[in-house]
Amino acid sequence: MRPVGMIGKWQDRFAQSQPLALEVGSGKGQFIIGMAQAHPEQNFIALEIQEVAIAYILRKQVELQLPNLQLILGDGAALTDYFAPGEISQLFLNFSDPWPKSRHEKRRLTYRHFLAEDQAILASDGRLQFKTDNQGFFEYSLVSMNNFGMTFDLVALDLHHDARVTDNIETEYEQKFASRGGRIYELVAHFPTKKDTPARA
Ligand SMILES: C[S@@+](CC[C@H](N)C(=O)[O-])C[C@H]1O[C@@H](n2cnc3c(N)ncnc32)[C@H](O)[C@@H]1O
């Protein structure tokens, strides 16, 4: 069931009102729990489509009782069903399914249709952070976001050996791939604001 009643009211669910970050596809929650613990000055929502995975996060949250973490069992392909325009200040896509076959391009969470959803819920100064171990998916996402008019704040082709990144919190997948010697890619980007859009002649 979609939490339609919560649209625009998510801050009411937290101990205090503060910038709200969302992770789409949280898996077992290692990243979002680590972020909520490291950043008590922010609120966090884990959005996950699989009951088994969200139940795993819930079990940890029952134990930890973090005041700045809420969970949604839902579909990250329809973010405007859950959030009001500008309600989210930071959006995390971590190791989303790469859907490598060309005919599945429209399922990739960095396809333009999903970027439009992301843009709608992100605040004007909001940021999208994307991590993957899949080079092809990373390249695709760079092009898709560039074509969408987004600006890149960070492009890291080897996140774990990038001196610019000092506060990385690993996801379960990231830990697994990196421990086998795999390279992790990350980008941080923002959407164009109205003032970035060139005026028509
Ligand atoms: C490859 S796993 C990555 C999990 C975690 N982010 C990590 O890096 O360890 C992808 C996760 O995204 C979830 N997922 C896939 N499509 C989704 C969607 N449309 N909405 C929400 N979650 C989704 C899957 O259930 C899975 O838990």
Domains of the chain in start order, with CATH, are 18-195 (3.40.50.150)
Q: Alpha-carbon distance 163 to 89, whole Å?
A: 25
Which ligand 1 atom is nearest residue 76's CA? 20
Residues 6+ apart with CB under 8 A from 115: 144, 145, 148, 150, 191
Clarify whether 118 is annotated catalytic: no
Higher pLDDT, 4 or 147: 147
Quick check: 80 pLDDT over 90? yes
- Give me the mean pLDDT over the 191-201 stretch: 67
| 117 belongs to an annotated ligand binding site | no
Helices (H), the chain: 30-38, 51-64, 112-121, 135-147, 172-179
Q: What is the pLDDT of residues 91-115, one digit of tens each?
A: 999 999 999 999 999 999 999 999 9
Which ligand 1 atom is nearest residue 176's CA? 9
Catalytic residue among 81, 97, 125, 153: 97
Decide if 45 contacts 22 (C-beta within 8 A): yes
Distance from residue 27's CA to the centre of ligand 1 (Å): 5
Model confidence at 5, pLDDT cuts 50, 70, 90, reads: confident
The continuous run of DSSP H or E covering 185 comes out as strand 185-190
> Percentage of the chain with pLDDT > 90?
93
What is the chain's mean pLDDT, rounded? Answer: 95
Question: How would you class 115 by CB atoms within 10 Å of its CB: exposed for 0-12, middle for 13-18, buried for 19 or more?
Answer: buried
| 194 belongs to an annotated ligand binding site | no
Nearest CA to ligand 1 atom 12: 25
Check residue 201 and give its pLDDT.
Answer: 44
| ipTM of the shown complex | 0.99
- Give me the mean pLDDT over the 118-135 stretch: 98
Decide if 155 contacts 118 (C-beta within 8 A): no
Residues 6+ apart with CB under 8 A from 10: 20, 43, 45, 70, 83, 87
| CB count in 10 Å sphere of residue 20 | 23
Q: Alpha-carbon distance 7 to 85, whole Å?
A: 9
| 75 belongs to an annotated ligand binding site | yes
Distance from residue 114's CA to the centre of ligand 1 (Å): 15
Check residue 198 and give its pLDDT.
Answer: 54
pTM of the predicted protein model:
0.95
* Packing angle, helices 112-121 and 135-147, rounded to 10: 60
Q: Alpha-carbon distance 39 to 24, whole Å?
A: 18
Please identify which residue in the block is written with the tokens 């190791």.
95
